């Protein structure tokens, strides 16, 4: 779809559940911090994928390490996606505890734009909403 320039079949408004996770105490500018971030990434992904969600964004800024997970994207759509997201959060908290890290989580369900944004040179699949 992307190479042909036809993205209309994957651009849509849909109801999804989103987890926003902000993890502090990781300095990715050091070798040890980068290793911790890698271990954190694997653990957080494992928890998300165990409940059939998707990792949509991973960012590092002055607030810490930030993850955006989405539940309800094709082909992994379920009636109980909000419940799955909460269960994933509990697993993510266990990951943080095992690494002696602290995080903050926000979970919401709503209608968002899901689709391709960007130019011919660089595009990405993203979710955007209020």
Is 2 among the domain residues? no
* Domain CATH code at residue 83: 3.30.70.1230
Tens of each residue's pLDDT in the chain, 130 residues: 445 555 555 888 999 999 999 999 898 889 999 999 999 999 999 999 999 999 999 999 888 899 999 999 988 999 999 999 999 999 999 999 999 999 999 999 999 998 888 888 888 888 888 7
Does some domain include residue 46? yes
Q: Is residue 105 within 8 Å of 86, Cβ to Cβ? A: no
- Say how far apart CA 82 and CA 107 lie, in whole Å: 8
Cβ neighbour number for residue 7 with a 10 Å cutoff: 14
pTM of the model: 0.87
CA distance from start to end of the chain: 27
Task: Report how many domains make up the chain.
Answer: 1
**Model pLDDT, residue 7:** 53
Alpha-carbon distance of 75 to 68, in angstroms, equals 18
5 lies in some domain: no
34 located within any domain: yes
69 assigned to some structural domain: yes
Domain that holds residue 118: 12-128
In a domain, 68, yes or no: yes
């Amino acid at each position: 779809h992307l190479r042909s320039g036809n993205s209309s079949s994957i651009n849509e408004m849909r109801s999804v559940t989103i987890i926003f996770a902000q993890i502090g105490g990781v300095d990715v500018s050091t070798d040890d911090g980068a290793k911790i971030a890698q271990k954190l990434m694997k653990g957080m992904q494992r928890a998300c994928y165990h409940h059939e969600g998707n990792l949509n964004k991973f960012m590092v800024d002055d607030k810490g390490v930030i993850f955006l997970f989405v539940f309800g994207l094709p082909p992994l759509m379920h009636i109980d996606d909000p419940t799955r997201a909460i269960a994933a959060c509990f697993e993510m908290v266990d990951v943080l505890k095992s690494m002696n890290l602290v995080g903050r989580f926000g979970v919401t369900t709503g209608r968002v734009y899901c689709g391709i944004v960007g130019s011919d040179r660089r595009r990405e699949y993203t979710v955007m909403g209020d």
